[in-house]
Structure 1
């Protein structure tokens, strides 16, 4: 497996740990619908959160959250709509980004709530 894929998996695992530590229940990982994928689906109370996780091992090309494009956001929203209907969700939803950087041997997590809608 390519190093960037391994870094991404580690970042996603760190995002799950972070969310659980903050009291979120992670319902799904890598939820797919057609050409779209949602990295994490989480729940906190009556709020359903769709999370895009971006991980970088260095910031040479910019911060991780800067790599969530308009097109990617639209794909996530389309998959989220499918998830909501497939699971009969009748409460609020939110779209977040969790940006993770590896600084030495330490993961740094930046949680951006309501990142796009």
Structure 2
């Protein structure tokens, strides 16, 4: 439930910053991309990580090398299915969502390029 909330906030954040959302929860052969977005002539394959406290660490620290490999694989499948985007610049990106329920605050941070 927290993850879906974070993904919705991330999608709204991207829209407010001029991105066009092409797909959400794109799944292909065991890999998933939370959001696929476009801005100008660039594609962004976005992983959203949401945390409600510091006990699990910063949201962005949860995107390890193995997860990035799955993102690359899913991005390749998306491009194979949508060849009209093949000439676009591509980025593996992340939106980190920190939720502080007690303070009723949400902090979103966009990381354009992972790894």
On whether the aligned pair clears a TM of 0.5, the verdict is: yes
- Distance in 2, matches of 1:46 and 1:109, equals 24
SS at match of 1:49: strand
Hey, what does 2:110 align to over in structure 1? 111
Match of 2:64 among 49, 69, 93: 69
Q: Runs of 5+ in structure 2 lacking a partner?
A: none
The equivalent residue for 1:56 is: 51
Any idea what the Cα deviations from partners look like across 1:67-117, whole Å, max 9, x if unmatched? 11211110010000111121012221111111000023221001111113x
Q: Indicate the SS of the match to 2:114.
A: coil
Q: Tell me the equivalent position of 2:28.
A: 33
Partner of 1:3: none
Equivalence map 1:76-87=2 (5 Å): 76-87=71-82
Partner of 1:11: 6
1:61 to partner: Cα distance: 2.2
Structure 1 alignment gaps of length 5 or more: 1-5
- Name the TM-score, length of structure 2 as normaliser: 0.93
Backbone CA RMSD of aligned residues: 0.8
